[in-house]
């Protein structure tokens, strides 16, 4: 009898230990072990690697399981990945789209499954399945770039004219229009007055867009502009570039064309990619918009937490971003710019990069 009682006590102790372990696991797995799908466009650009890894780290630290996928800039691949996330039991989706207009059908499946969708950095167009949008203030990105050019050339006081060429991003990326629009709202008055002269005459978005934000395409176009409009010795004073992948191609073309750090045009960028920061230090790029992906990732985690808890989701814009089916509630983070004067404080002292990475 005593042996049977001892066995029962031991079994109860083992059961208690197992239950305690399960309770601990439930706490550490967080949010009941919910799974978040994170779809990124490509690993080819440094910033998306950083965005994806920051997102995964932040979500896992918050207790979620994470299915992180990169789509190699292939729309069909991204659609397939999102389908797998839906059928694989993801409780929410965070999507940085390749083509903002290509996900309507697959996201209809998410809507039917009642899976909330956060558009990450790029607004997803033409579907009411998008619950929220998280990004940096894309229009402000452009206005900062435009104002940097105004300040560097002292356009308020200088007589000019200064010669400028314009580059923006992919026509299938809705953000490119905000970047370009913000910059041109600052620069157009000086173009209209003649202080800025677009020598090529190429000013419309469609003329200056760069498919897939391609470094190679930007380089080819800059080479063509130099051959067609500057081979006679005409001086190029400034190039507006909406991001770093384009700016790197522009820099390559200018260096190959004989420009040096002593006579390099003012050149803008965005994302503070390592190559571009090195170019800033070398004098072959002037500035780059710094969008700290840690900030955006942390904000998305807050939004996911609120959604999963059924609480009010933090947003700060309910007027700007219409994806064709209505305004998408949005949280906007504020961008800043880095140049040779402040890069150390912004990028190194903050822990975003190490000094060795920028050597």
3-state SS of 303-358 is HHHHHHHCCCCCCCECCCCECCCCECCEEEECCEEEECCCHHHHHHCCCCCCCHHH
Band of pLDDT at residue 33, cut at 50, 70 and 90 = confident
Q: And the tokens for 156?
A: 């308020």
Band of pLDDT at residue 350, cut at 50, 70 and 90 = very high
Q: And the tokens for 53?
A: 């890894």
In angstroms, the CA 282 to CA 273 distance is 14
pLDDT in tens, 273-295: 999 999 999 999 999 999 998 89
Task: Answer whether residue 322 shows pLDDT above 60.
Answer: yes
Task: Answer whether residue 5 shows pLDDT above 50.
Answer: no
pLDDT at 293 (0 to 100) = 85
Task: Answer whether residue 188 shows pLDDT above 70.
Answer: yes
Residue with tokens 């994170």: 38
Mean pLDDT of 37-58: 91
In angstroms, the CA 93 to CA 120 distance is 10
- Measured between alpha carbons, how far is residue 287 from residues 36, 276, 338 in Å? 35, 9, 6
Q: And the tokens for 211?
A: 């498919």
pLDDT at 25 (0 to 100) = 37
In angstroms, the CA 250 to CA 238 distance is 11
CA torsion sign, 143 to 148 to 149 to 150? positive
Mean pLDDT of 322-326: 96
Task: Answer whether residue 303 shows pLDDT above 80.
Answer: yes
pLDDT at 62 (0 to 100) = 92
SS3 content of the chain, % helix, strand, coil (to 5): 50, 15, 35
pLDDT in tens, 208-226: 999 999 999 999 999 999 9
Band of pLDDT at residue 32, cut at 50, 70 and 90 = low
Residue 253, SS3 per DSSP: helix
pLDDT at 20 (0 to 100) = 40
Helix axis angle for 138-153 and 174-193, nearest 10°, is: 30
Task: Answer whether residue 6 shows pLDDT above 80.
Answer: no
In angstroms, the CA 70 to CA 315 distance is 27
Element (H, E) at 38: strand 35-40
Question: Mean pLDDT of all residues in the chain?
Answer: 91
pLDDT at 2 (0 to 100) = 41
Task: Answer whether residue 24 shows pLDDT above 60.
Answer: no
Band of pLDDT at residue 8, cut at 50, 70 and 90 = very low
Band of pLDDT at residue 78, cut at 50, 70 and 90 = very high
Percent of the chain with pLDDT over 90: 84
pLDDT at 142 (0 to 100) = 98
Task: Answer whether residue 30 shows pLDDT above 50.
Answer: no
In the chain the domains, ranked by start, together with CATH numbers, are 31-130+292-333 (3.40.50.2300), 138-291 (3.40.50.2300)
């Amino acid at each position: 009898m005593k042996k049977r009682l001892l066995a029962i006590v031991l079994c109860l102790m083992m059961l208690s230990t197992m239950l305690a372990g399960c309770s601990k696991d439930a706490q550490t797995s967080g949010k009941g072990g919910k799974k978040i799908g994170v779809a990124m466009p490509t690993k080819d650009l440094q910033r998306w690697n950083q965005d994806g890894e920051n997102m995964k780290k932040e979500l896992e630290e918050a207790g979620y399981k994470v299915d992180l996928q990169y789509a190699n800039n292939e729309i069909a691949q991204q659609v397939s990945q999102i389908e797998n996330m839906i059928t694989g039991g993801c409780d929410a989706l965070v999507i940085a789209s390749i083509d903002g207009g290509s996900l309507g059908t697959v996201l209809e499946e998410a809507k039917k499954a009642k899976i909330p969708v956060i558009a990450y950095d790029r607004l997803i167009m033409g579907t009411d399945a998008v619950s929220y949008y998280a990004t940096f203030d894309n229009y402000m990105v452009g206005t900062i770039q435009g104002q940097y050019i105004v300040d560097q050339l002292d356009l308020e006081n200088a007589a000019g004219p200064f010669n400028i060429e314009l580059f923006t991003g992919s026509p299938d990326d809705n953000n490119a229009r905000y970047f370009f629009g913000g910059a041109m709202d600052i620069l157009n008055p000086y173009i209209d007055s003649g202080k800025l002269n677009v020598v090529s005459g190429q000013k419309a978005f469609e003329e200056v867009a760069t498919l897939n934000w391609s470094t190679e395409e930007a380089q080819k176009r800059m080479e063509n502009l130099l051959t067609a409009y500057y081979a006679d010795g005409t001086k190029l004073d400034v190039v507006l570039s909406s991001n770093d992948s384009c700016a790197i191609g522009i820099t390559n073309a200018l260096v190959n064309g004989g420009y040096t750090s002593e006579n390099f045009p003012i050149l803008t960028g965005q994302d503070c990619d390592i190559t571009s920061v090195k170019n800033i230090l070398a004098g072959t790029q002037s500035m780059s918009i710094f969008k700290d992906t840690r900030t955006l990732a942390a904000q998305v985690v807050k939004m996911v937490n609120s959604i999963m808890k059924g609480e009010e989701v933090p947003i700060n814009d309910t007027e700007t971003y219409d994806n064709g089916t209505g305004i998408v509630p949005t949280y906007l983070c504020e961008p800043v710019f880095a140049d040779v004067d402040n890069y150390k404080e912004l990028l190194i002292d903050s822990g975003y990069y190490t000094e060795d990475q920028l050597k």
